[in-house]
């Protein structure tokens, strides 16, 4: 479904990704594992148009979306849940969720989706009228996840779901991602902890200093403790 070919990207003055080849198939959970600062976020940002790639191609269902604007890519079904959550701070929890469904649906469809997200995160419903900036870290992460689910995503790209969270919250977050996976949505998750993503992954890529150094089925790669240790420390 998603195909990335020879993707090169970076920021002013420095190249971060040196030619990435990656694919995600329908219904698959793909994990990009790598230590901090090796280009995981840059990869997701380049795929979803927040950063324009210097070379290479991004294909969605065979369509070249490399030069599309971020909002068009999102509308096409690649939904990116960025690092740092990026909520709308002066909007309520409900409003934040509704913005997730900005593109496309009617209001009745929108409230139906709102209901489904509330079912997944009942806690969000209690906080519906609260301003997003008043939430705690874990709450923000759930809201960001819920907002991503409000859209009609084909593929959800999640950047470091557990970054900066307490262990208990981390568990809750991954539990809810599990539920998302079970619903049949394809996932591309960037993470630095192999243990977290064990149950979510069908395939794993290892990213090191801007290049994918290994890839393979999850049950094979993730069991290779020595290999993981050498890459992730």
Partner 1 sequence: MSTQFVQAVWGGILFGSVYGLMALGLTLVWGAVRLLNLAHGAIFVVGSYVAFFVVSKLNLPILVALPIGVLAAAAFAYLMHLIFIRPVIGKPGFDNSTLIATVGISIAVSAAAILIFNPEYKVIPPIISGNFTLSDVQITKQGLLVIGTSLALFALVYLFLTYTRRGMAIRAVSQQQEAASLMAIPVVRTYGMVIAISGALAGLAGVLLSPFFFLNPNSGFNPMIQALIVTIFGGLGSVRGALVAGFVLGIFESFVEVYYGVAWAQPGVFLLIILMLIVRPNGLFGIGEVRRL
Query: Which residues of the chain form contacts with partner 1 (CB under 8 A)?
Result: 48-50, 69-72, 74-75, 79-80, 82, 86-91, 95, 98-100, 102-103, 107, 147, 151
Closer residue to partner 1, CB minimum distance, 75 or 232? 75
Smallest gap from Cβ 124 to partner 1, in A, equals 16
Smallest gap from Cβ 187 to partner 1, in A, equals 16
Closer residue to partner 1, CB minimum distance, 34 or 77? 77
Q: Which two tokens stand for residue 9?
A: 């990207």
How far separated are the first and last CA of the chain, in Å rounded? 32
Smallest gap from Cβ 97 to partner 1, in A, equals 10
Smallest gap from Cβ 24 to partner 1, in A, equals 18
Q: Is 228 left (phi over 0), alpha (psi -120 to 50) or beta?
A: alpha
Closer residue to partner 1, CB minimum distance, 86 or 166? 86
CA 148 to CA 169: how far, in whole Å?
18
**Three-state secondary-structure class, residue 19:** strand
Smallest gap from Cβ 99 to partner 1, in A, equals 5
Closer residue to partner 1, CB minimum distance, 127 or 203? 127
Strand partners, 205: 32, 215
- Provide the residue count of the chain: 233
- Residue 101 has a CB neighbour count (10 Å cut-off) of 22
CA 221 to CA 122: how far, in whole Å?
35
Closer residue to partner 1, CB minimum distance, 80 or 181? 80
CA 119 to CA 149: how far, in whole Å?
12
């Amino acid at each position: 479904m998603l195909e990335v070919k020879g993707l090169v990207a970076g920021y002013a003055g420095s190249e971060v990704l040196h030619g990435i080849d990656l694919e995600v198939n329908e219904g698959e959970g793909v994990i990009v594992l790598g230590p901090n600062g090796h280009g995981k976020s840059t990869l997701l940002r380049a795929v979803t148009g927040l950063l324009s790639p210097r070379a290479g191609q991004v294909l969605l269902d065979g369509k070249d979306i490399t030069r599309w604007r971020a909002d068009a890519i999102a509308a096409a079904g690649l939904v990116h849940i960025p690092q740092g959550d990026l909520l709308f701070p002066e909007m309520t929890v409900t409003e934040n969720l509704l913005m997730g469904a900005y593109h496309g649906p009617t209001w009745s469809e929108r409230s139906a989706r709102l209901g489904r997200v509330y079912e997944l995160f009942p806690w969000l419903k209690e906080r519906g009228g609260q301003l997003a900036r008043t939430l705690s870290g874990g709450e923000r992460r759930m809201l960001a996840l819920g907002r991503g689910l409000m859209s009609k995503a084909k593929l959800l790209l999640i950047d470091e779901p557990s970054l900066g969270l307490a262990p208990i919250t981390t568990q809750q977050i991954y539990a809810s991602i599990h539920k998302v996976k079970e619903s049949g949505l394809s996932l591309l998750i960037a993470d630095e902890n192999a243990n977290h993503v064990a149950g979510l992954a069908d395939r794993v890529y290892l990213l090191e200093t801007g290049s994918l150094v290994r890839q393979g089925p999850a049950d094979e790669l993730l069991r290779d403790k020595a290999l993981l240790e050498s890459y992730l420390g």
